[in-house]
Amino acid sequence: PGSCFAPRAPDDVEGVARVCATLGVPHVVNNAYGLGCAAIGKAVSRAMRVGRVDYVVQSTDKNFMVPVGGAIVAAASQEAVDRVTKAYPGRASATP
């Protein structure tokens, strides 16, 4: 929805999630263009259930047409979200 440069087809996030779970490899989904697409949302949700997805990152400028840019970081657990919150204080914050 947000940009004319969106990929033509999504990656096999479910397959990658299964491999990451098997190998114990962290998995970050770049969902920059997918937030407005129900099929991609369902695929990411399925991947989180059947494999390993540590974080899903969505772009605010591509999905919400926010002119300055930014991101929404989602995770399956509150603990994972808290880790990101502690590591990245935000653009306008002066605290570590």
Please, what are the averages of pLDDT over each run of 10 residues along the chain (96 residues)?
60 95 96 83 94 91 72 87 80 54
Residue 88's pLDDT is what?
Answer: 74
Confidence at residue 49, expressed as pLDDT on a 0 to 100 scale:
95
Question: For residue 41, which of 65, 58, 16 has the smallest C-alpha distance?
Answer: 58
Structure tokens at 44: 């990411």
- At position 87, the amino acid (one-letter code) is A
* Burial state string for 53-91 with b = 16 or more CB within 10 A and e = fewer than 16: bbbbebbbebbeeeeeeeeeebbeeeeeeeeeeeeeeee
